[in-house]
Amino acid sequence: MDKPGLIPEEIVREVLETCNMLTVLNAFIPLKADGKLWKGPCPFHQGDEWSLAVHEARQLFHCATCGVSGNMLYFVMRYTRWSFPRVVKWLYEMKYLTES
Is residue 97 scored above 60 in pLDDT? Answer: no
Looking from the CA of 14 toward its CB, the CA atoms found within 13 Å total: 14
Contacts of 73 (CB under 8 A, 6+ apart): 12, 15, 16, 84, 87, 88, 91
Q: What is the pTM of this model?
A: 0.86
Instruction: Mention every residue, 6+ apart, whose C-beta is less than 8 A from residue 75.
Output: 24, 25, 28, 61
Distance (Å, rounded) from C-alpha 26 to C-alpha 6?
Answer: 27
Q: What are the structural domain ranges in the chain?
A: 9-93
Q: Which residues does 7 contact at the CB level (< 8 Å), separation at least 6?
A: 84, 85, 88, 89
Distance CA 95, CA 67 (A): 30
**Which pLDDT tens digit goes with each residue over 25-77?**
999 999 999 999 999 999 999 988 999 999 999 999 999 999 999 999 999 99
Specify the CATH superfamily of domain 9-93: Zinc finger, CHC2-typedomain (3.90.580.10)
Quickly state the pLDDT bin for 94 (edges 50, 70, 90).
confident
| 3-class state of residue 63 by DSSP | strand
Instruction: Give me the pLDDT at residue 93, please.
Output: 84
